Amino acid sequence: RDSLKDMGKCKSACAAALARGKSVVVDNTNPSARARAEFVKLAQTSSVKVRCFWMEASREMSEHLNKVREMAGSDHAHVPAQAYFGYSNNFEEPTKSEGFEEVVRVPFVPKFENPDEERIFKWRL
């Protein structure tokens, strides 16, 4: 949704890629089973396996990373506090019962390209 700016456009792009036999990655924050269900249904309609990779990061870490990106000069748009609040309030752990072949939990592990990145990351912001 960051690049297409609209959930309808995301679903259309997903459906079009699946219709062409392409693999699809929905890189998005879909906090609830209901939000994820539309993408799961699109995949199931196309008879493809659906896997969920759950990128685990606490709300506090996510907000910290937002500040780190800003301090490091990233062109990534600022994520407002209310977005974290809304996501947290609507979050439901993804489960296989939603139609996923598997749910893979991916813990957050920082990786740094240089010492400056690590220094900024470790600041108490």
Decide if pLDDT at 23 tops 60: yes
For residues 43 and 92, the answer to whether their CB atoms sit within 8 Å is no
Which DSSP letter does residue 48 get?
Answer: -
Alpha-carbon distance of 15 to 48, in angstroms, equals: 12
Decide if pLDDT at 16 tops 90: yes
Which one is predicted more confidently, 102 or 7? 102
**CB contact burial 63-76 (16+ within 10 A = b; e otherwise):** bbbbebbeeeeeee
For residues 45 and 20, the answer to whether their CB atoms sit within 8 Å is no
Alpha-carbon distance of 80 to 1, in angstroms, equals: 16
Query: Whole-number mean pLDDT of the chain?
Result: 89
How many residues are given for the chain? 125
For the stretch 51-69, pLDDT in tens is: 999 999 999 999 999 988 8
